[in-house]
Structure 1
Amino acid sequence: MSELDLALVHALQVRPRAAWTELAPLLGATAVTLARRWERLTAEGLAWVSAVPGPAFAQGGCTAFVFVRCAPAARERLAGQVARLPEAVTVELIAPGRADLMLDVLAPDLAGVHRFVDEELAVLPDVLDVECVFATSLYTEGSRWRLGSLDASQLAVLGRSGTTDGAGGRVAELDAMDHAVLDALVRDGRTRLTELAALTGSSAATVRRRLGRLTASGIVALRCDMAPAVSGLPVSVTFRGRAVAREVNRLHHTLATLPECRLLAAVTGAANVLATYWLRDIGSVQRRETAVCARLPGLDVTDRVLGIRTVKRMGQVLDGEGRRVGTCRIHPW
C-alpha cells in the first residue's frame, strides 16, 4: 500500500462520495490517478464504500450481539449458512471457547431479533447453543473509525468542503424507490446518481434529493471499509466486561477514544460492556487490556473473544485475508 492509497482511503472514510476532482488538490494527485487507484483497490477487494444503518437506527431499530456454539467440524459450514441471512449483518469466526461464532444482528425491533434467533438461527441443525445480548447504548461503531493517514489540515479542508446531496428532513416511511437505492448502495456506496436513476426509473435530481434525505435524517450512512492489508491491524478482539451501572456511561470517554476501538456498546446481561478493537498483533491483546484496566479500575473484563476470520462485515462477504469478494443483502431498514 502506498501513502497515496492510504490517504485516499482515509479521505473516503470522511467523505465517501466525494468527487475525485474535489480530492485531487487535497491529496496532491490528479482526479484520473485517484479514480484509477480506487478502481484497483476495489477490484482487489482491499477497500470499498457501502451503505450501512445511520445513527437514526439506534433510536428505532434493535442491535444485538449473538454468540453461537456449534460442533467444531461445523464452524465453517455454519458461518456460510448464517452469512446468507440478511439480519446477520456481520459474521465472525472466533477462537473456540464458550462460542464459535459472533454475529451482529440488526432488526427493526426487539421482536424481529427474537424471530431471527428463534425461527431462523436456532433451528439450524449445527447450532448447539445461542447467547443473545442487546445493545442499550452504542457509543461508537465502524463508521466512525478512521485510518489516521491524513493530517489535521487535510481533515479540516474535508470538513469545510463537505456538502449534503440534498435537503434534510424526517423520512416518515421508506418506499420501493428508497429500498432500491439502499440495496444498490450496499453493493457499492459510490454508485453514480445516473446509474441509481436508471435503476429506479427516475431522474438523477430525484435520486440526489432522496439520498440527501436518507443521509441527513440519519437513516443511512456511507462507510469506507478496508481489508487488514490496508489498516495494518489484522487482529480483532472483543472484550466483554462488567461495570456498575453508574459507571457505564463514563466508559466511552476512555474506551471509545482509543485509536484501535471499532465498537463500544453498553449491553444487557451480566457482562454489560462490549468493546471491539483492531490490533497489530496477538501480543497487543494483553497490552490493550492492561492499559484499559489501569485507566478504568471499575471495569472487570470477563471474556476476551479473539476473532479468527470475518466471514461477512456489514453485508460484505470477505475471504480469508479479509478482502471483499461479494455482497450478501442486508435489510435493516
Structure 2
Amino acid sequence: MVSELDLALVHALQVRPRAAWTDLAPLLDASAVTLTRRWQRLTARGLAWVSAVPGPVFARSGCTAFVFVRCVPGARRRLAARVAALRQAVTVELLAPGRADLMLDVLAPDLPGVHRFVDEELSVLPDVLEVECVVATSLYQEGTRWRLGSLDSSQLSVLGRAAGPDGAPGTAVDLGEADRAMLDALVRDGRARLSDLAALTGSSAATVRRRLGRLTAAGVVAFRCDVAPAVSGLPVSVTFRGRAAAGDVNRLHRTLATLPECRLLAAVTGPANVLATYWLRDTGAVQQRETAACAHLPSLEVTDRVLGVRTVKRMGHLLDDDGRRVGVCPIRPW
C-alpha cells in the first residue's frame, strides 16, 4: 500500500529531487529517518525513482524526436525489448493496435543524429515494417514539470523558496571525464550521495557539489522523480496528435499544458504539428481530455488518439508490466 506520506514525499521530490531528508522532515511532519526508510521502500519496490535527465539547454543544443514504429504481427513485445536496448531510444511505449505498434522518445545531439539512429539502428531491426519520425520544435511540458498533486499550496510555497529562483541556463560548460562519470551515476540514481560520487570520480565531496551545481545552473542537467501507476493512480496513457493554426502553436503552454494530467506537450514537424500525452485514471477520461483540449484551443483538430498499453522504458529506466522499475539502460545525451 502507498500511504499519504509516501505520496507527499514523492511530490516533494518532484519539486526538489535531491533535497536532504532533514530539509523535508519538518515540511512533511516526519523524521528524517522515517523519510529515508519510506524512500528506500518505494525505490526497492520500483514504485518511485529519481534520475538525472537533460536540462533545459538540451532544447537548444540537442534534438528530441518522437518515432512511431509499425511491426509484423506478433512481434510487438520482441521488438520493444530490442528497441529498449538502444541508448538513443530513451522511452519506449507499446501502443494499442492501430497505425503504429511502438512510440519512442529519441534524444540525439542533432538532427542528423536522429536520422542516423532511425536509418541505421532502428529501421534495420528485424520485424520493423514502417517508421514515422517527427521532431520537436518546441517542448512546452515534459516529465520534470509533471506533479503528483499531493502537497498543499503552503507546502509548495516553502519548497519553492528553499529551491531558490529559477533562472535562464548559464554559459556553456565543457564536460570532462569526471563530469560524464558523475552524470552516468546520477542517471541510475539521481539521489546518489556526494561521497559516493566523489569516490567514483576520484575527487572530494566539495568538488562534486561544485561540479553538480555548475552543471545544474548551466542547464546541462536536471533531475526528476518518476513513479509507477500504483503511485500516480493514472494507469492510462493517451497521446493526441493534431493540427493547430500556426499562430496558435505558441499558445500551447497557456492552454493544453494547463489541463490536468498533462505529461508531455510539444510542437512538432509534420502535418500534425501538436503532440500531447496525458496520464488518466481510465479510458473514459480520454474523450473528456480531448473535449477540454479543443475547448481551450478551438483551432486544434485532433487527428489521432494513441493509447499506451505498456511503457517498456522511461527515460532510460526499464519497467515491468505494472510500470515498476526493474533495471536501467542509461541514457547519455550529454
TM-score normalised by L of structure 1:
0.97
Q: Which residue of 1 aligns with 2:46?
A: 45
Q: Indicate whether 1:264 and 2:284 are aligned.
A: no
Extract structure 1 runs of 4+ deviating beyond 3 A.
none
Greater shift in the superposed pair: 58-67 or 245-254: 245-254
% identical equivalent positions? 79
| 1:162 equivalent in structure 2 | 163
Structure 1 position 215 matched with structure 2 position 216: yes
1:229 is aligned to 2:224: no
**Mind listing any 5+ residue stretches in structure 2 that lack a counterpart?**
none
Aligned residues: 330
Residue range with higher mean Cα deviation, 242-251 or 97-106 = 242-251
Matches within 5 A, 1:286-301: 286-301=287-302
Distance 2:56 2:94 in 1: 27
**Deviation for aligned residue 1:297:** 1.9
| Amino acid aligned to 1:303 | D
1:197 aligns with 198
Q: CA deviation at 1:331?
A: 1.2
Aligned residue for 1:325?
Answer: 326
Residue pair 2:173, 2:215 contacting (<8 A) in 1 also: no
Task: Show CA shifts across 1:35-93 (max 9, x none).
Answer: 00000000000000000111110011000000000012110011001001110000000
CA distance in 2, matches of 1:32, 1:295: 45
| Alignment RMSD (CA, Å) | 1.1
Amino acid aligned to 1:121: L
C-alpha contact (below 8 Å) 2:173/2:218 kept by paired residues: no
The answer on whether the counterparts of 1:171 and 1:214 sit within 8 Å (CA) in structure 2 is no
Separation in 2, partners of 1:279, 1:22: 32
1:169 Cα offset (Å): 4.5
Q: Which amino acid aligns with 2:180?
A: H
Post-superposition offset of 1:163:
5.4
| Structure 2 residue 84 is matched with structure 1 residue 92 | no
Q: 2:112 corresponds to which letter in structure 1? A: A
Q: What CA distance in whole angstroms lies between the structure 1 residues aligned with 2:253 and 2:158? A: 28
1:151 aligned onto 2:141 = no
Match of 1:126 in 2: 127
Q: What amino acid maps onto 1:68 in structure 2?
A: V
Letter in 1 for 2:218: S
Matches within 5 A, 1:2-17: 2-17=3-18
CA distance in 2 between counterparts of 1:111 and 1:175 reads: 24
Per the alignment, residue 72 of structure 2 pairs with 71
- Aligned-partner residue type, residue 299 of structure 1: L
Q: Distance in 1 between matches of 2:73 and 2:152?
A: 46
Amino acid in the other structure paired with 1:226: V
Q: Please give the per-residue CA displacement for 1:100-129, whole angstroms capped at 9, x wherever unaligned.
A: 000000001011101100000001011100
| Mapped pair 1:255 → 2:256 | yes
Alpha-carbon distance in 1 for matches of 2:134, 2:170: 32
- State whether residues 64 and 135 of structure 2, in contact with CA within 8 Å, keep that contact through their aligned partners in structure 1: yes
Matching residue's letter, 1:241: G
Question: How many angstroms does 1:172 deviate by?
Answer: 3.0
Q: Structure 1 residue 295: deviation in Å?
A: 2.7
With normalisation by structure 2, the TM-score equals 0.97
Counterpart of 2:278 in structure 1 is 277
Alignment deviations for residues 115-167 of structure 1 (CA, whole Å, 9 cap, x no partner): 10000000101110000000000011010010110011101111112259xxx
